[in-house]
Copies of this chain bind each other. A is one copy, B any other.
């Protein structure tokens, strides 16, 4: 493995801003403006981008990789609230609410991202009215996802919650040609996302496999019939 272990600085020029919804809201001039102010990085896997409680200095735009957002619980228990990927904007919510980071962002794969400092954003908000409206819609969608997931995870039996979590991962990261999930999480991580101990998670995965919704192949998870799983996940509340 030739994996880089340190954070490296990258040039904004290497990124294709056309692919990213956020930057498509900007004029060519505005894009040049933030390009001049942003700093871009390559993070190796398992490295911290920012920590819960830190002051917000700007937002992060992900171009490549997967980032895990977690909240620290009691007894060092870690709760995962979301996995972010390319195109996602991290930290805009607490920035707009003028708060400290309320979660920790940690890469789980190699990640490329750009940091846009607060002042540059403020300038954009003042002059580009599309941008608030665009972000408003992004926030509304996140709000909806959060509300749904709240439901999925709070009023259901464990195996349904596990199914719901897998559905979310399926929708966000899709599967490869063998139906294998395109996000590779150890059991503990998946358990932290569902909000259950790993032992209980495993028992529920077995249940889902017995129902033929998924196929476990070592630590790989193959999604057989996504629609059935969606239906199953909705069981208690649908």
Contact = CB atoms under 8 A, between A and B. Distances in A.
Interface of A: 71, 73-74, 77, 79, 81, 92-94, 96-97, 99, 102, 125, 129, 132-133, 135-137, 139-144, 146-147, 149-151, 153-155, 195, 234-238
Given A136-B136, A146-B146, 12 more contacts: A73-B155, A73-B237, A74-B234, A74-B238, A93-B143, A94-B144, A97-B144, A129-B132, A132-B132, A146-B150, A150-B153, A154-B154
A97 B236 contact: no
A94 B143 CA distance: 10
Copies of this chain, tallied across the complex: 2
Contacts of A97: 137, 140-141, 144
A71 B151 contact: yes
A133 to B, nearest CB: 4
Contact of A143 (B71, B139, B154, B155): B139
Given A77-B237, A237-B71, A149 B151 contact: no
A142 B93 CA distance: 10
A162 to B, nearest CB: 13
A7 B93 CA distance: 38
B141 A140 contact: no
Contacts of A235: 74
A186 B141 CA distance: 32
Contact of A195 (B73, B149, B155, B238): B155
Nearest to A149: B150
B73 A238 contact: yes
Contacts of A154: 150, 153-154, 195
A27 to B, nearest CB: 16
Contacts of A93: 140, 143-144
Q: Which of A74, A144, A155 has the most CB of B within 10 A?
A: A155
